């Protein structure tokens, strides 16, 4: 039996790709593998791969904003393959009645044991209504009706096997130490969907972290995804002590989420001790009235400020997240939030502002229904994405200002952060990045001639070359350990040599023709960032990268190759005309020797070919 998950999220959007799919899939996979005989479980991003590989069953995890794409994908699969398609995740859990005809079964809530029961039935060719109605926590079709079975008990976490990391190889590895949250914020499904707080055992947590360190040595930061990692002080102490006694805090750092009204000095000390370097808070608003409305009760502005000050005292970075555009918010409230962020920006290296969105099965969804802002036959699911503010694609809920006002204000928020490539620039950047990929990658294809029989692309998450060339093998740099590169006669290293711990030793051991694309770090842009005190180890959102980073200039790169007698040829230097720093040069040119920066400043990326090694 072969099962393929297919991810409907648009991973061409960089930030989505970085987040990766839910770790829930890895738990489903491990429960299946430890209970039934299953040949293969994998995650696909491209529906054509499903059609080509012909698994025995397809499973689709669905967030509401991806529901439309999920339907298209399932229709496409049904055109070519006569296999069952099941779906699960937050959308189906919230609105099981939206199960489309092209998806046979939906799993409501925890997926581990429902999927196991479904696969057992499928093995016996018995996925029929007669048997399905005995499986709790699912929805399926019968005679043009949707049948929702009795609710399933929540999955106990203590005896769950460890998450199956093998299916998540291409993504950042995070962990859960618990599930659910006792609070009732009006914009979160927790406000309506019943979900009891459950914990993994301390032993499981330690084994899980050790597993990540062993399998993904390049990763130096692990995100703890729990809604509320700090919910119990006693448990936090146990986890922190266990991490310290196993010396795991010396090997990796961690990031977690917290809630300001239960955050205090003692918690901060424990987090610092276990090497937490970012704590994220949903500060939501700097208006007491809006904060109270969103979080229902319990969190005040004082709590939010105290949380930032405490983190600052202990040298922990704060991630601050805000929701703009609530129904009751006024322009004064917006302004308060704006100045709160400005005041605290130094201690909040990560800031995210999101627009209020009625996610199904939340109080704010009910509000939007009551106000007829969502019609009964609503199916514009992609409108329910809180990261984009696009006029015709946004359900505007505010009662006090106009959409036009909100749009302008929202832009101002994005610019506060004074970071060169923040959210406001994403759309523009995305186009630039896409163009860049098109020109550079197309170019690379020209050099990688058709004479090569077996080409390997080593990249970040998915192949770029395969868009242009067939039969490319792809591997993420994170999975290189124990991977045999010898059988390839051409290896293309696509902007990830920067993330390989010993890049030149790695190159020395490769065989065949090798092409490398790498970024030039010797840019005035780098110097400017350093002078502003930015951490270079960040991605385009100025968020901390979770991999190790090497910074290359052409000269240090060539020096390292020469040291090892590795011959090379610079095939192409790619220019970016956007690098223009008139004010910077005006101030610094006569004061600092920046000649080496100026020399290579226009060159953004280099394409190098390794032409041989002298013995």
Query: Binding to ligand SF4 by residue 193, rule CB under 6 A?
Result: no
Query: Binding to ligand SF4 by residue 8, rule CB under 6 A?
Result: no
Q: Which of residues 278-317 bind ligand SF4 (CB under 6 A)?
A: 282
Q: What is the CA radius of gyration of the chain?
A: 25
Beta bridge partners of 258: 281
Residue 459 contact among ligand B12, ligand SF4, none, beta carbon within 5 to 8 Å by kind? none
Beta bridge partners of 517: 494, 607
Residue number with CB closer to ligand B12 (282 or 503): 282
Query: Binding to ligand SF4 by residue 352, rule CB under 6 A?
Result: no
Alpha carbon dihedral 249, 228, 258, 278, in 10-degree steps, equals 30
Binding segment (CB under 6 A) for ligand SF4, from list 183-191, 312-320, 381-389, 588-596:
183-191
116, 168 Cβ separation under 8 angstroms: no
Residue number with CB closer to ligand B12 (319 or 349): 319
Q: Measured at the alpha carbon of residue 379, what is the angle toward residues 60 and 87, in degrees to the nearest 5?
A: 15
Cα 15 to Cα 461, 475, 498, 539: the distances in Å are: 12, 20, 19, 10
Residue number with CB closer to ligand B12 (43 or 522): 43
Select from 102, 67, 98 the least CA-distant residue to 82. Answer: 102
Question: Of these, 4, 29, 64, 190, which contacts ligand SF4 (CB under 6 A)?
Answer: 190
CB of 5 to ligand SF4, least distance (A): 24
Strands (E), 285-361: 317-324, 350-355
DSSP state of 377: T
Token pair recorded at residue 53:
């590989």
CB of 323 to ligand B12, least distance (A): 10
Q: Which residues bind ligand B12 (CB under 6 A)?
A: 9, 16, 19-20, 22-24, 27-28, 59-61, 63-65, 86-91, 93-94, 107, 110-112, 115, 155, 174, 176, 179, 181, 187-190, 225, 227, 359-360, 362, 385-387
Query: Binding to ligand SF4 by residue 181, rule CB under 6 A?
Result: yes
CB of 364 to ligand SF4, least distance (A): 11
Select from 250, 196, 255, 203 the least CA-distant residue to 225. Answer: 255
Query: Binding to ligand SF4 by residue 226, rule CB under 6 A?
Result: no
Alpha carbon dihedral 10, 16, 18, 19, in 10-degree steps, equals -120
574, 435 Cβ separation under 8 angstroms: no
Query: Binding to ligand SF4 by residue 360, rule CB under 6 A?
Result: no
Residue number with CB closer to ligand B12 (18 or 344): 18
CB of 420 to ligand B12, least distance (A): 22
Select from 202, 151, 161, 207 the least CA-distant residue to 178. Answer: 202
Q: Describe the crossing of helices 265-273 and 301-314 by its angle, rounded to 10 degrees.
A: 40
Residue 359 contact among ligand SF4, ligand B12, none, beta carbon within 5 to 8 Å by kind? ligand B12
Residue 259 contact among ligand SF4, ligand B12, none, beta carbon within 5 to 8 Å by kind? ligand SF4
DSSP conformation letters of 36-60: S--SEEEEES-HHHHHHH--SEEEE
Residue number with CB closer to ligand SF4 (181 or 433): 181
Query: Binding to ligand SF4 by residue 365, rule CB under 6 A?
Result: no
Binding segment (CB under 6 A) for ligand SF4, from list 105-113, 181-189, 202-210, 413-421:
181-189
Question: Of these, 259, 272, 303, 499, which contacts ligand SF4 (CB under 6 A)?
Answer: 259
Nearby residues of 606 by Cβ (< 8 Å), 6 or more positions away? 516, 517, 518, 520, 554, 557, 570, 572, 573, 574
Residue 461 contact among ligand SF4, ligand B12, none, beta carbon within 5 to 8 Å by kind? none
Q: Which residues bind ligand SF4 (CB under 6 A)?
A: 181, 183-185, 188, 190, 227, 259, 282
């Amino acid at each position: 039996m072969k099962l393929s998950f297919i991810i409907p999220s648009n991973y061409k959007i960089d930030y989505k790709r970085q987040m990766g799919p839910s770790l829930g899939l890895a738990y489903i996979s491990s429960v299946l593998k430890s209970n039934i005989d299953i040949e293969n479980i994998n995650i696909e991003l491209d529906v054509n791969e499903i059609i080509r590989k012909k698994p025995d069953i397809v499973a689709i995890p669905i967030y509401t904003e991806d529901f439309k794409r999920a339907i298209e994908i399932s229709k496409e699969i049904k055109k070519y393959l006569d296999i069952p398609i099941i779906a699960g995740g937050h959308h189906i859990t919230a609105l099981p009645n939206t199960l489309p005809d092209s998806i046979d079964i939906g799993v409501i809530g925890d997926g581990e044991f429902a999927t196991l029961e479904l696969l057992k039935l499928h093995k016996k060719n018995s996925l029929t209504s007669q048997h399905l109605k005995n499986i709790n926590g699912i929805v399926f079709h019968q005679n043009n009706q949707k049948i929702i079975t009795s609710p399933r008990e929540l999955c106990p976490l203590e005896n769950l096997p460890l998450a199956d990391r093998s299916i998540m190889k291409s993504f950042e590895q995070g962990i859960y130490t618990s599930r659910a949250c006792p609070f009732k914020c009006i914009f979160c499904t927790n406000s309506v969907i019943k979900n009891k707080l459950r914990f993994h055992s301390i032993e499981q947590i330690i084994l899980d972290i050790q597993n990540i360190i062993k399998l993904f040595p390049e990763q130096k930061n692990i995100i703890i995804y729990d809604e509320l990692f700090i919910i119990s002080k006693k448990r936090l102490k146990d986890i922190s002590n266990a991490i310290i006694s196993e010396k795991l805090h010396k090997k990796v750092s961690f990031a977690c989420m917290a809630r300001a009204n239960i955050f205090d000095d003692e918690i901060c000390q424990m987090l610092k001790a276990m090497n937490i370097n970012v704590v994220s808070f949903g500060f939501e608003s700097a208006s007491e009235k809006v904060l109270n409305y969103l979080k229902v009760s319990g969190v005040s502005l004082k709590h939010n400020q105290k949380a930032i000050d405490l983190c600052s005292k202990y040298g922990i970075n704060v991630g601050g997240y805000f929701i703009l555009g609530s129904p009751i918010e006024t322009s004064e409230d917006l302004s308060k939030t704006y100045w709160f962020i400005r005041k605290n920006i130094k201690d909040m290296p990560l800031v995210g502002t999101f627009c209020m969105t009625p996610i199904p099965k939340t109080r704010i969804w009910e509000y939007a229904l009551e106000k007829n802002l969502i019609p009964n036959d609503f199916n514009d699911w992609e409108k329910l994405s809180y990261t984009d503010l696009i006029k015709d694609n946004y359900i505007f809920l505010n009662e006090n200002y106009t959409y036009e006002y909100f749009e302008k204000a929202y832009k101002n928020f994005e610019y506060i952060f004074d970071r060169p490539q923040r959210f406001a620039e994403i759309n523009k950047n995305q186009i630039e990045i896409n163009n860049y990929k098109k020109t550079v990658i197309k170019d690379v294809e020209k050099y990688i001639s058709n004479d090569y029989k077996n080409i390997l692309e080593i990249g970040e998450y998915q192949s770029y070359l395969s868009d242009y060339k067939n039969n490319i093998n792809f591997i993420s740099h994170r999975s290189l350990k124990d991977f045999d590169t010898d059988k390839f006669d051409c290896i293309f290293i696509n902007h990830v040599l920067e993330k390989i711990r010993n890049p030149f030793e790695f190159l020395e051991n490769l065989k065949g023709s090798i092409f490398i694309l790498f970024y030039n770090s010797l840019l005035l842009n780098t110097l400017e960032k350093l002078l502003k005190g930015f951490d270079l180890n960040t991605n385009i959102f100025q968020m901390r990268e979770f991999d190790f980073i090497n910074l290359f200039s052409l000269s240090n790169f060539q020096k390292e190759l020469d040291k090892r007698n590795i011959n090379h040829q610079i095939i192409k230097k790619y220019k970016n005309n956007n690098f223009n720093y008139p004010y910077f040069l005006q101030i610094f040119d006569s004061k600092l020797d920046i000649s080496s920066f100026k020399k290579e400043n226009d060159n953004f990326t280099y394409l190098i070919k390794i032409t041989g090694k002298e013995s």
